């Protein structure tokens, strides 16, 4: 009996804590802070020209005509998916209200590895949109059979369809030779030619979304000719536009929980990162999640800064996967120089960083590589966008040295690298490491 009472007590405790978390959350409608949510027109900011273009291109679908193919390109987080999805949703509602069978078939190509998988995903999504069975298996049959089933669903269930291929440039397929046609080229050719070849009864248009402004250059000549899209260009958002985007999603939060400065700070961080609205919205949401985790009833600037650090740490950790211990050690030695420096040091002289690297290899009983190897490792770090570098002269006859500036907060980079098993040992000698770093910095400035 006691065990049953304990179990019931635990269940009530869990239930109570869950309900308390929901009731005391700073969020009112967290779904508004999902970057992929289809939002109302009045929440769209800074994309009037692109919105007008896509409305113009899709209007023929409501007049019984075929819309043109479209190529939407621009950096990540600049509103490509947001705009095309918002307009398609309105076209869908208007078409349905006037009895037209309009369909929107979407796939994201980022995780699709081959032309065959892409075709199956199209069949599956078309079947879901039409409310019918897929009718083909994922494996064991040819791509042509899957394509036939896709065309069959479109012909039987829709008068007009727009196919959205998000991140289309990532659908390269299994290219055995550099000259092989990428999978997206073959798919675009097949989809854009289907109506002309009589494979589909009805109108089919393709909207391809990409971050690559040179996407069309890699298309096969036949695919380029048959696709022949209308271009819609999406530039970076600036800080003011990002701020307006977040202001229009303020109601995702409860009244009076946002401190002044939260929205401008979130927008400023995202503006530094190529004007990515997706990252601005993620940051704005994560700040609230951090406040919720702490049981706080106000979202403050420190929550935004913590959210930014979390995002940088996640990005850094992802980029660091696969780096060798020596490369991590070189990057760590460079990162702790500005972190531990008693001077206001933004750029890290390679001479100082290499001496710190030498000390760390001795401390950890690791192999010590040459200065040329260290510089080679840091060149690779630059290609990963961890750092930027600049050459500096030491004065007449003294040669030059490199100076490294971290793209993200060097403290975040150092903390992330400390999670590596071997680098953790350095934490136990932190005061000694700090003194070594500052001694090397002082020596460098005395010499120069």
CA-CA-CA-CA dihedral for 24, 28, 33, 37, to nearest 10: 130
For residues 404 and 346, give the distance between their C-alpha atoms in angstroms, rounded to a whole number. Answer: 8
- Token readout for 73 is 């390109």
249 marked among binding-site residues: yes
81 marked among binding-site residues: yes
396 marked among binding-site residues: no
For residues 278 and 287, give the distance between their C-alpha atoms in angstroms, rounded to a whole number. Answer: 14
For residues 69 and 206, give the distance between their C-alpha atoms in angstroms, rounded to a whole number. Answer: 5
| Cβ(209)–Cβ(72) below 8 Å | yes
79 marked among binding-site residues: yes
384 marked among binding-site residues: no
Q: 């675009």: which residue's tokens?
A: 188
343 marked among binding-site residues: no
Burial class (CB in 10 A: 0-12, 13-18, 19+), 353: buried
Positions at the binding site: 78-82, 237, 249
Residues in binding site for ATP: 78-82, 237, 249
């Amino acid at each position: 009996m006691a065990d049953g009472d304990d179990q019931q007590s635990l269940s009530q405790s869990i239930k109570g804590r869950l309900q308390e978390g929901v009731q005391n959350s700073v969020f009112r409608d967290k779904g508004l802070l999902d970057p992929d949510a289809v939002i109302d027109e009045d929440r769209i900011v800074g994309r009037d020209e692109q919105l007008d273009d896509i409305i113009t291109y899709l209007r023929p679908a409501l007049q019984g005509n075929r819309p043109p193919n479209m190529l939407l390109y621009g950096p990540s987080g600049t509103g490509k998916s947001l705009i095309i999805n918002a307009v398609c949703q309105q076209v869908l509602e208007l078409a349905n209200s006037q009895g037209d069978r309009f369909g929107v078939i979407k796939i994201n190509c980022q995780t699709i590895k081959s032309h065959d998988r892409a075709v199956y995903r199209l069949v599956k999504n078309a079947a879901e949109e039409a409310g019918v069975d897929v009718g083909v298996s994922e494996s064991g049959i040819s791509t042509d059979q899957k394509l036939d089933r896709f065309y069959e669903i479109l012909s039987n269930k829709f008068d007009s369809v727009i196919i959205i291929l998000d991140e289309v440039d990532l659908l390269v397929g299994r290219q055995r030779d550099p000259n092989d046609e990428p999978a997206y080229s073959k798919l675009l050719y097949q989809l854009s030619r289907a109506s002309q070849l009589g494979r589909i009864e009805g109108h089919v248009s393709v909207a391809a979304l990409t971050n690559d402004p040179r996407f069309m250059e890699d298309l096969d000549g036949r695919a380029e000719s048959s696709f022949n899209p209308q271009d819609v260009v999406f530039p970076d958002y600036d800080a003011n536009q990002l701020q307006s985007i977040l202001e229009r999603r303020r109601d995702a939060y409860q009244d009076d929980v946002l401190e002044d400065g939260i929205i401008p700070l979130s927008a400023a961080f995202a503006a530094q990162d190529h004007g990515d609205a997706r990252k601005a919205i993620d940051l704005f949401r994560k700040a609230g999640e951090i406040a919720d985790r702490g049981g706080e009833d106000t979202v403050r600037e420190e929550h935004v800064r913590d959210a930014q650090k979390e995002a940088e740490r996640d990005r850094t950790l992802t980029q660091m996967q696969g780096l060798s211990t020596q490369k991590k050690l070189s990057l760590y030695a460079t990162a702790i120089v500005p972190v531990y420096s008693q001077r206001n040091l933004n750029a890290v002289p390679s001479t100082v960083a290499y001496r710190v690297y030498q000390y760390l290899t001795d401390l950890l009983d690791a192999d010590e590589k040459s200065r040329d190897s260290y510089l080679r490792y840091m060149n690779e770090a630059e290609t990963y966008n961890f750092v930027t570098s600049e050459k500096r002269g030491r004065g007449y006859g003294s040669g030059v040295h490199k100076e490294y500036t971290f793209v993200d907060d060097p403290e975040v980079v150092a903390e992330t690298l400390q999670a590596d098993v071997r680098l953790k040992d350095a934490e136990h000698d932190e005061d000694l490491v700090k003194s070594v770093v500052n001694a090397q910095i002082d020596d460098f400035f005395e010499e120069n």
